Amino acid sequence: MEMDWKTFKKRFPHLAKELESGAQTVRIGGVRSYEAEGFDELRMPDAVSYLRRCETEEQALEIIEYLERKGEISKDYAESLRKQLREKGVRSFGPLKKPGYYLRRYYYGVEE
């Protein structure tokens, strides 16, 4: 449903005021997009899934090098991951996946 700003302000004055003030903002630590439909992190983890398990940049570099060496990721993609790691840090790939992540997420349905 599309709506112009004037109509939105008329229907939702308090929400419009809050949006205009910028009082409630949330920092986004990382963004992922899934090119392939039906991405299933549980059955087919990607490089970022593994990097989210890392606690240090050294661990992340080791994972990137391993995936590149095994042919799981291309040289260009590995380089872009290294660049992101250098510039933004290991948490730029998303929050840390703690032990039991998959059990909580897929069995209990708890988002982390």
Mean pLDDT by 10 residues, the chain (112 residues): 88 88 68 52 85 95 96 95 95 90 78 67
Give the model's pLDDT for residue 33: 53
Q: Flag whether 84 is in a domain.
A: yes
Q: Flag whether 22 is in a domain.
A: no
Please name the residues in contact with 74: beta carbons below 8 A apart, sequence gap of 6 or more. 68
Q: Flag whether 34 is in a domain.
A: no
DSSP sequence for 46-78:
-HHHHHTT-SSHHHHHHHHHHHHHTTSS-HHHH
Domain that holds residue 101: 41-112
Give the model's pLDDT for residue 38: 44
Give the model's pLDDT for residue 29: 62
Q: Flag whether 27 is in a domain.
A: no
When divided into structural domains, the chain yields a total of 1
Q: Flag whether 111 is in a domain.
A: yes
Q: Flag whether 25 is in a domain.
A: no
For 103, the token pair is: 């059990």
Give the model's pLDDT for residue 87: 94
